[in-house]
Amino acid sequence: MRWAIVRFPGSNCDEDARFALEKVGIRAEYVWHTERDLKGFDGVFLPGGFSYGDYLRAGALAAKSPVMEAVRRFAEEGRYVVGVCNGFQILTEAGLLPGALLANLNLHFTCKEVGVQVERNDLPFTRLYPRGKVLRLPIAHAEGRYYADPETLARLEGEGLVVFRYAPLKDEADYNPNGSLHDIAGIVNEGGNVLGLMPHPERAVDEVLGNADGLPFFLGLVKEVVR
Partner 1 sequence: MMEALAEEIGIPKEEYREILQRLGREPNRVELLLFKVMWSEHCAYKNSRPLLKELPKEGEAVLQGPGENAGVVRIGEGWAVAFKIESHNHPSAVEPFQGAATGVGGILRDIMSMGARPIALLDSLRFGPPEGRSRYLFKGVVSGIAFYGNAIGVPTVGGDLYFHEGYRENPLVNAMCLGLLKEEHLKKSRASLGRPIYYAGAKTGRDGIGGAAFASRELKEEKEEDRPAVQVGDPFLGKLLMEATLEAIERDLVEGVQDMGAAGLTSSLAELAHKSGLGVELNLDLVPTREEGMAPEELLLSESQERMVLVPKAGKEAELEAVFRRWGLDCVPVARTIPERVFRVLYRGKVVAEVPTEALAEAPTYVRLAQEDPEIRRLRERPIPPLEADPKEVLKGLLASPNLASREAVYERYDHQVGTRTALLPGQGDAAILWIKGTHLGVAAKVDQNPRYSRLHPRLGAMHALAEACRNVSVVGARPLAYTDGLNLGSPETPEGYYELKETVEGLKEASAALGVPVVSGNVSLYNEAGGRRIPPTAMVGVVGVLDVRRRAEMGFRRPGEVVVLIGEERGSLGASEVLYLLTKEEFGHPPALDLRREKAVQETIRDLIASGLTQTAHDVAEGGLLVALAEMTFPYGLGATVEVREEGLEALFGEAPSRILFTVEKARLQEATLLLEERGLPYRILGETGGKTLTVLTPKGVLEWEVAELKALWQRPLREVLDG
Q: Does residue 112 interact with partner 1 by CB under 8 A?
A: yes
**What's the min distance (Å) between Cβ of 74 and partner 1?**
24
Antiparallel, parallel or unpaired: β 184-188 and 194-197: antiparallel
The letter for the amino acid at 188 is: V
Considering only 202, 215, 218, 221, the residue that binds partner 1 (CB under 8 A) is 202
Query: What whole-number distance in Å separates Cα of residue 197 and Cα of residue 114?
Result: 13
For residue 105, state whether it binds partner 1 (rule: CB under 8 A): no
Whether 200 is catalytic: yes
Is 15 one of the binding residues for partner 1 (CB under 8 A)?
yes
| Residue of the chain from 45, 50, 74, 129 that contacts partner 1 (CB under 8 A) | 50
Of 114, 88, 84, give the one whose Cα is nearest residue 218.
84
Roughly what angle, to the nearest 10 degrees, separates helices 14-23 and 215-226? Answer: 60
Q: Which of 13, 33, 85, 141 is catalytic?
A: 85
Give 74 or 217: the residue with its C-beta nearer to partner 1.
217
Output 75 or 85, the one with its CB closest to partner 1: 85
41 sits in the region (left: phi over 0; alpha: psi -120 to 50; else beta) called beta
Given 113, 119, 143, 202, which residue is catalytic?
202
Question: Catalytic annotation on 13?
Answer: no
Min CB(93)–partner 1 separation in Å:
17
In terms of Cα–Cα distance, which of 130, 120, 111 is closest to 203? 111
- Rounded to whole angstroms, the Cα distance separating 63 from 105 reads 24
Among 25, 55, 131, 132, which residue interacts with partner 1 (rule: CB under 8 A)? Answer: 55
Nearer to partner 1, 18 or 165 (CB): 18
User: Which residues sit opposite 165 in a β-bridge?
Assistant: 117, 184
- Does residue 46 belong to the site contacting partner 1 (CB under 8 A)? no
Closer CB to partner 1, 206 or 224, in the complex: 206
CB nearer to partner 1: pick between 167 and 205: 205
- Count of residues touching partner 1 (by CB under 8 A): 32
* Interface ranges with partner 1 (CB under 8 A): 9-10, 12-13, 15-16, 19-20, 48-50, 52-55, 106, 108-112, 138, 140, 142, 200, 202-203, 205-206, 208-210
Q: State the catalytic residues.
A: 85, 200, 202
